[in-house]
Structure 1
Amino acid sequence: ADSLLPIKLETGKLDEINWCTACDNCIEFLIRQKPVGCATYYKEYALALKEIRKEMGKLEEKHT
């Protein structure tokens, strides 16, 4: 979930890490062949997911 994970680990900023919540929204981006990012922590991806679901509907099942 955190694109800065390696830097935060290296610098000891463990309390600033955005850990994955296992929401699987990133998997939906992959299945729909869209740019992948964390919709939990990054607003741009949350908005993108909302638009994708508006256009294409919510996935019923997630198979990769």
Structure 2
Amino acid sequence: MNNAVEGRARAQCALDAEVAGIRRKDIVATVERFWPVVAAEMMGVRDDATLIAPPDMEELQAAYRKIRP
């Protein structure tokens, strides 16, 4: 994966978590958990050659939708 995409996905995920009211001490763990979801959304496609999705990607997507503003 392009490192720039990962960096942007992590930054966006952190912003979303902050806006959602997640405690600052929990934002790092939240970003680590959800950044692949944001990266996949940014890329617009699911391509295992460029983004190796975690095995629980569908559950992560559903959980992330609950916190996204």
What is the TM-score with the length of structure 2 in the denominator? 0.31
Question: Which of these two proteins has the greater Rg computed from alpha carbons?
Answer: 1
Where relative contact order (Cα < 8 A, 6+ residues apart) is larger, the structure is 2
Q: Which has the higher helix share?
A: 2
What is the TM-score with the length of structure 1 in the denominator? 0.32
